[in-house]
């Protein structure tokens, strides 16, 4: 448990030493949450409107076999349905694209600055000059995790749909997707903890070490962070449904942002301590 104590000590020291950088991280986190929420709400409205344009004509469609045999159309305005369908697909693609861009650019910047804040002396000139390198590592780590998983998941869903067991086992499929997504998220945030490592070889060594050999320790840090974040969300729940206090709601909402930023710093600090442990025979 020494890595947890050292990680906590390093987190507190980093925040005290780089107060303005910490405030910047909080500010960027608020912007990221706000933009993500705005993006999700706007496209959700568009997608639901497109879905309505598909569902309503289908509800009023002609399902009579005799009239269909006589040449009556199944749907009166097929072009409208096709237009709504194409619009929905385009909006889904746009939502995924903009979300991914926001995740890489803004969330990537947050992770980069988080890695900087744990340094005792930040060489700003060198860091700013080579700032593209950690972003490139973010993109590569996403491609190496999400890419293969998306391809595998696509073929699995195709196979299940052909076997006509997709709807019958919808809950199993959904649970599998959630499990796979959770694992992918774990591997991604482990990689993000080391994106400021200059050497690609050392970056991959650290990534694999904390993802596999030292996974039990990495998961312990993640569990602590999840508990802290859930507790902060519980305060928001209390402020809305139990106490009904606007002031407490604002304070608890701001607390969530602080907790997310602090737990991310704690995550990076602890993983740095894990790879530096004496029983780790790898040299970096």
pLDDT digits (tens, 9 = 90+) for 217-265: 999 999 999 999 999 998 888 877 777 677 777 888 899 999 999 999 9
| Residue 26 pLDDT greater than 80, yes or no | yes
152 is written with which tokens?
Answer: 């595998």
User: Rounded to whole angstroms, how far apart are CA atoms 111 and 248?
Assistant: 29
User: Rounded to whole angstroms, how far apart are CA atoms 108 and 258?
Assistant: 18
User: Rounded to whole angstroms, how far apart are CA atoms 109 and 28?
Assistant: 9
State the average pLDDT over residues 88-113: 93
How many whole angstroms from its chain centre is CA 189? Answer: 9
Q: Note whether 20 and 278 are within 8 A (CB).
A: no
283: in domain: no
Q: Is the dihedral of CA 251, 255, 258, 260 positive or negative?
A: negative
Query: Where does the pLDDT of residue 122 fall: very low under 50, low under 70, confident under 90, or very high at 90 and above?
Result: confident
| Residue 141 pLDDT greater than 70, yes or no | yes
pLDDT at 23: 96
226: in domain: yes
Q: What is the CA radius of gyration of the chain?
A: 24
Q: In Å, what is the CA distance from 109 to each residue of 133, 141, 144, 192?
A: 12, 15, 20, 11
137 is written with which tokens?
Answer: 């590592």
Query: Where does the pLDDT of residue 284 fall: very low under 50, low under 70, confident under 90, or very high at 90 and above?
Result: very low
Exposed/middle/buried for residue 58 (C-beta within 10 Å: 0-12, 13-18, 19+) = exposed
User: Which one has a higher pLDDT value, 226 or 176?
Assistant: 226
210: in domain: yes
Q: Note whether 227 and 3 are within 8 A (CB).
A: no
281: in domain: no
User: Rounded to whole angstroms, how far apart are CA atoms 203 and 197?
Assistant: 6
282: in domain: no
Could you tell me the residue range of the domain that residue 208 belongs to? 2-275
284: in domain: no
User: Which one has a higher pLDDT value, 110 or 158?
Assistant: 110
Task: Name the pTM for this structure.
Answer: 0.85
Per-residue HEC secondary structure of 189-222 comes to HHHHCCCCCCCHHHHHHHHHHHHHHCHHHHHHHH
User: Rounded to whole angstroms, how far apart are CA atoms 254 and 10?
Assistant: 23
User: Which one has a higher pLDDT value, 149 or 31?
Assistant: 31
Structural domains of the chain, count:
1
Nearest CA to 113 out of 226, 221, 7, 261 is that of 261
State the average pLDDT over residues 42-53: 90
203: in domain: yes
33 is written with which tokens?
Answer: 């949450």
User: Which one has a higher pLDDT value, 17 or 79?
Assistant: 17
pLDDT at 283: 45
């Amino acid at each position: 448990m020494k890595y947890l104590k050292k990680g906590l000590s390093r987190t507190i020291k980093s925040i005290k030493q780089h107060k303005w950088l910490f405030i910047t991280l909080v500010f960027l986190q608020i912007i990221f949450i706000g933009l993500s929420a705005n993006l999700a709400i706007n496209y959700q409205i568009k997608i639901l409107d497109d879905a309505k344009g598909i569902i309503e004509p289908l509800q009023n469609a002609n399902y009579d076999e005799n009239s269909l045999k006589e040449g009556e159309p199944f749907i009166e305005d097929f072009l409208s349905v096709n237009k709504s369908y194409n619009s929905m697909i385009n909006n889904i693609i746009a939502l995924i694209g903009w979300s991914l861009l926001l995740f890489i650019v803004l969330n990537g910047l947050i992770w980069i600055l988080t890695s900087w804040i744990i340094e005792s002396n930040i060489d700003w000139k060198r860091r700013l000059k080579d700032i593209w390198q950690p972003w490139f590592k973010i993109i590569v780590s996403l491609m190496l995790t999400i890419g293969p998983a998306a391809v595998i998941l696509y073929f699995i869903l195709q196979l299940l749909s052909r076997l006509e067991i997709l709807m019958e086992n919808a809950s199993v499929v959904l649970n599998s997707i959630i499990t796979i997504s959770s694992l992918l998220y774990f591997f991604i945030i482990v990689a993000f903890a080391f994106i400021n490592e200059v050497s690609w070889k050392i970056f991959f060594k650290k990534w694999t070490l904390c993802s596999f050999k030292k996974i039990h320790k990495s998961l312990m840090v993640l569990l602590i962070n999840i508990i802290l974040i859930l507790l902060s969300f519980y305060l928001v729940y209390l402020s809305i449904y139990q106490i009904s206090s606007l002031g407490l709601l604002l304070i608890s909402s701001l607390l969530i942002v602080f907790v997310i930023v602090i737990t991310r710093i704690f995550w990076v600090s602890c993983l740095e301590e894990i790879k530096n442990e004496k029983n780790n025979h790898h040299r970096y």
